[in-house]
Amino acid sequence: MISLEADVLIVGGGMAGTCAAIAAARSGSQTILVERNGFLGGAATAAAVGQFVGWETEAGRRVIAGLAEEVVARLIDNDGAHGHSRFVMSTGHVMDRVQYNPEILKCVLDSLVAEAGVDLLFHAWQAGAETHGARVYGARFLTKSGEISIRARQFIDATGDLDLLQAVSAPMLRADRDRLQPGTLMFAIGPIDFDRFDAIELEEKGALARRGFEEGALARPALHCSRVPGSDHGWFNVTRVTVDGSDARSLSQAEIEGRRQALAAARYIIDKVPGCENARLSAFAPQLGIRETRRALADHTITVEDLASARRFDDTIACGAYPIDLHKANSGALTIEGFGADHAYCVPLRALIVRDFDNLQVAGRGISATQEAHGALRVMPLAMAMGQAVGTAAAMAAGAGNDPAVRDIDISALRDRLSRAGAIIDPDA
Ligand SMILES: Cc1cc2nc3c(=O)[nH]c(=O)nc-3n(C[C@H](O)[C@H](O)[C@H](O)COP(=O)(O)OP(=O)(O)OC[C@H]3O[C@@H](n4cnc5c(N)ncnc54)[C@H](O)[C@@H]3O)c2cc1C
C-alpha cells in the first residue's frame, strides 16, 4: 500500500473542497486534495450547474467575495464567464448570478490549485478512515495504483455526501428518504437564438413551461437555462429525479431516469420554445446533480431562525443572502423564501466543526443546518466562502505545533486572515 502524509487532507474537490485546499496551501500547509473524478468542481462541472447564484442581497449589496471572486476573475480572464448579472427565476424572483462555462472552470481550478502548491490526487475514491479518540488520523483511497493511505493532522470532508464522516461514524443529520430534495440531470442544447429566447415574456414562458409539465415533457414547470458564456448553447435545469445520493442503487436508477427526462425535455423545448427551433441536444451533464444527502452534526446547527434574525456569531467566517430554495420531493413544486431586500446572514465556523471530533471539518453542502436552512446555504458562492474559511482554519491548527483542536484556534486571527484575503465576514460591511 502507498502511504502519504500531509498537514491538511481534503476529501472531495467540489467548489468547497477546492477552495479549502487552495486556502490551506496558501496558508503554508502541506495540503493533499483527493477527488474521485478526473477534474475539479463537483456539481459545478460534473453536474454542469452553469451559474453561481447568491452573491448579493436583493438590494444589490455584495456579501461574498474573497477566493470565490478570484475564481470569477480567472474565469473572465479565460473567456469562461462575463461577470455578474441579474435574471428572473421561474418563480418570478430576481436573482444575481455569474454564468460560467463548466469546461473552462475545470481548467481555472486546475491552475489555481497548482499555483497554490496543492498536491492533487484524481481518480481516487475514499474507502475508509481511521480514528484515535477524538481525532481522525488517516484515510484510505481506492486508486489505479491500489490502495493509498494518507495520514494528516487536519481533515476536511468536502464530499457533499459526507463520506469521510460516514467512515468515522461521526454524528450526522439527514431528512427521511422521501423528503430529500430531488436531483436534476442538466442537459445542453444549441444553437439557441438567445435574442429571441431572452425576449420571451415571463407570462408566455410560464405558459410554455406549464404546458410542458402538464404534457409530461417537463418534470417541473420551468424553462430555466444558463447560457454558456460566449456561445449559443445553454444548460437547462428542468428535470427532477427522486434519489438518495448516498445509496448506490438509487443513484444508478436516478442517472437513467435523469437521461430519460432530459431527452424528453430537450425535445419539447426544441419543438415549442421560440429561439430553440434550430437547436439539437449537445450534452447531458456527466453526472446527476445531487442537492442534498447527509448534513453534519457540528458544534452548532444553523436554523431558519438564525438566518431570518441575522444572528451574529463571534466566529462568523462567511455571510450569505440567498433565500431558502426548496425543490419539493415527488412533485414539480419549488418554493423560494427570501428574508428581505437587504438582508444578509452569518455562517459561523462552529457549524463546520464536526461535533465530538478535534480535527474534522466540513464545508459546502455538508454544513450543519436544518433541512430548511440548508436550502439557503447550499449555493456555490457560499460553498467557496466556507471552503476558504475551513482551509485557512485547518492550516492554522496544523501549523500550531501543539496540534490544537480546530475549535481552539485563535478565531479573531482567523477572521483577520480571511478579511485580509478579501473574504466578507461582517454582514454590515
Ligand atoms: C441541479 C442543481 C442545480 C443547482 N443550481 C445552483 C445554482 O444555480 N447556483 C448555485 O450557486 N448553486 C446551485 N446548486 C447548488 C450547488 O451546485 C451545490 O450545492 C454545490 O456545488 C455543492 O458544492 P460542494 O463542493 O459542497 O459539493 P459537491 O459539488 O457535491 O462536491 C463534492 C465533491 O466530492 C467528490 N466526492 C464525493 N464523494 C467522494 C469520495 N467518496 N471520494 C472522493 N471524492 C468524492 C465529488 O466527486 C465532488 O467533486 C445546484 C445544485 C444542483 C444539484
- The candidate with the shortest Cα–Cα distance to 355, out of 175, 170, 174, is 170
pLDDT digits (tens, 9 = 90+) for 304-331: 999 999 999 999 999 999 999 998 877 8
Per-residue pLDDT band at 93 (split at 50, 70, 90): confident
pLDDT digits (tens, 9 = 90+) for 21-65: 999 999 999 999 999 999 999 999 999 999 999 999 999 999 999
Q: Is the pLDDT of residue 97 over 80?
A: yes
Give domain status of residue 277, yes or no: yes
Position 328 scores a pLDDT of: 83
Nearest to 98 by CA among 57, 61, 68: 68
Residue from 159, 241, 287, 386 whose mutation best tests the ligand 1 pocket (most atoms within 8 A of CB): 159
226 lines ligand 1 (CB under 6 A): no
Separation CA 304–CA 285 (nearest Å):
32
Same domain, 400 and 303: yes
CA dihedral 67, 69, 74, 75 (to 10 degrees): 130
| Same domain (yes/no): 80, 115 | yes
Q: Which residue is closest in CA terms to ligand 1's atom 37?
A: 159
C-alpha cell at 139: 484515510
Whether residue 170 lies inside any domain: the answer is yes
pLDDT score of 379 = 98
CATH number reported for the structural domain that contains residue 380 in this entry: 3.50.50.60
3-state helix, strand, coil in the chain (%, to 5): 35, 30, 40
Do 312 and 216 lie in a common domain?
no
Please check whether residue 328 is in contact with residue 334, taking contact to mean a CB–CB distance below 8 angstroms: yes
Inside any domain, residue 427: no
Residue 289 Cβ < 6 Å to ligand 1: yes
Return the bridge partners of 53, or none.
97
CA 402 to ligand 1 center in whole angstroms? 34
Ligand 1 within 6 A of CB of 71? no
- 158 touches ligand 1 (CB under 6 Å): yes
- Cβ atoms < 10 Å from Cβ of 386: 31
Please answer whether residues 62 and 56 qualify as being in contact, where contact means their C-beta atoms are separated by less than 8 angstroms. Answer: yes
Residues with Cβ within 8 Å of residue 171, at least 6 apart in sequence: 296, 297, 354, 355, 356
Instruction: Work out which ligand 1 atom sits closest to the CA atom of 363.
Output: 26
Tell me which H or E stretch contains 344: none
The vertex-364 CA angle with 323 and 234, nearest 5°, equals 70
- Going by CA atoms, what residue is nearest to atom 3 of ligand 1? 49
Say if residue 117 is in the same domain as residue 193. no
Shared domain for 310 and 356, answered yes or no, is: yes
Question: How far, in Å, from the CA of 277 to the mean position of ligand 1?
Answer: 32
Residue 193, in any domain of the structure: yes
405 has a pLDDT exceeding 90 = yes
CB 129 less than 6 A from any atom of ligand 1: no
In the reported structure, the alpha carbon of residue 51 is separated from the centroid of ligand 1 by a whole-number distance in angstroms of: 12
Q: Do 75 and 145 share a structural domain?
A: yes
Q: Is residue 94 part of a domain?
A: no
376-395: pLDDT as tens digits? 999 999 999 999 999 999 99
Mutation test of ligand 1: which of 9, 10, 35, 290 has the most ligand atoms closer than 8 Å to its C-beta?
Answer: 35
C-alpha cell at 276: 430553440
In the three-class reduction of DSSP (H, G, I as helix; E, B as strand; rest coil), residue 133 is classed as: coil
pLDDT band at 277 (very low <50, low <70, confident <90, very high): very high
Across the chain, what does the average pLDDT equal? Answer: 96
Report the percentage of the chain scoring pLDDT > 70: 100
Torsion of CA 163, 239, 54, 418, to 10 degrees: 20
- Distance (Å, whole) CA 108 – CA 86: 23
Which residues form the domain of 201? 182-284
Question: What is the structure's pLDDT at 400?
Answer: 95
In which residue are the cell numbers 502541506 written?
30
Is residue 76 situated within a structural domain?
yes
Q: Are residues 322 and 405 in the same domain?
A: yes
Counting runs of H as helices and runs of E as strands, what totals does the chain give?
A: 11, 20
Of the residues 267, 284, 301, the one at which a domain ends: 284
Residue-wise pLDDT tens digits, 102-112: 999 999 999 99
Domain check: are 204 and 168 in the same one?
no
The pLDDT tens digits of the residues spanning 112-151 come to 999 999 999 999 999 999 999 999 999 999 999 999 999 9
Closest atom of ligand 1 to 364 CA is 26
Kindly state the cell numbers that stand for 330: 415527488
Same domain flag for 279 and 347: no
User: pLDDT confidence of 15, banded at 50, 70, 90?
Assistant: very high
47 pocket-lining for ligand 1 (C-beta < 6 Å): yes
Pocket test for ligand 1, best of 122, 243, 365 (most atoms within 8 A of CB): 365
Report the pLDDT value the prediction gives residue 313, as an integer from 0 to 100.
Answer: 98
Q: Is 254 in the pocket of ligand 1 (CB under 6 A)?
A: no
* Same domain? 213 vs 160: no
Ligand 1 in contact with 51 (CB < 6 A)?
Answer: yes
Could you tell me the distance, in angstroms and rounded to a whole number, from the CA of residue 15 to the centre of ligand 1? 7
- Mean per-residue pLDDT for 190-217? 96
Query: Atom 38 in ligand 1: which residue has the minimum CA distance?
Result: 159
CB of 168 closer than 6 angstroms to any ligand 1 atom: no
Q: What are phi and psi of 404, to 5 degrees?
A: -65, 160
Q: Which of 347, 383, 381 is nearest to 10 (CA)?
A: 383
pLDDT reported for residue 88: 85
Residues in the chain: 429
The per-residue pLDDT for 192 is 98
Percent of the chain topping pLDDT 90: 92
Specify the DSSP element, H or E, that contains 192: none
C-alpha span between 163 and 301 (Å, rounded): 19
User: Does some domain include residue 30?
Assistant: yes
Residue among 291, 367, 377 whose CB has most ligand 1 atoms within 8 A, to mutate: 291
pLDDT at 92: 79
Number of domains comprising the chain: 2
Average pLDDT over residues 333-339: 89
Determine if ligand 1 sits within 6 Å of the CB of residue 42: yes
Amino acid at 404: P
Q: Which of 417, 420, 425 is nearest to 29 (CA)?
A: 417
Same domain flag for 157 and 18: yes
Whether pLDDT at 90 is above 80: no
**Spatial separation of the C-alpha atoms in residues 241 and 219, rounded to whole Å:** 8
* Distance from Cα 14 to the centre of ligand 1, integer Å: 6
Same domain, 304 and 170: yes
pLDDT of residue 258: 98
Residues pairing with 136 in the sheet? 131
Spatial CA neighbour of 387 closest among 8, 18, 9: 18
Report the nearest atom of ligand 1 relative to the CA of 15.
Answer: 25
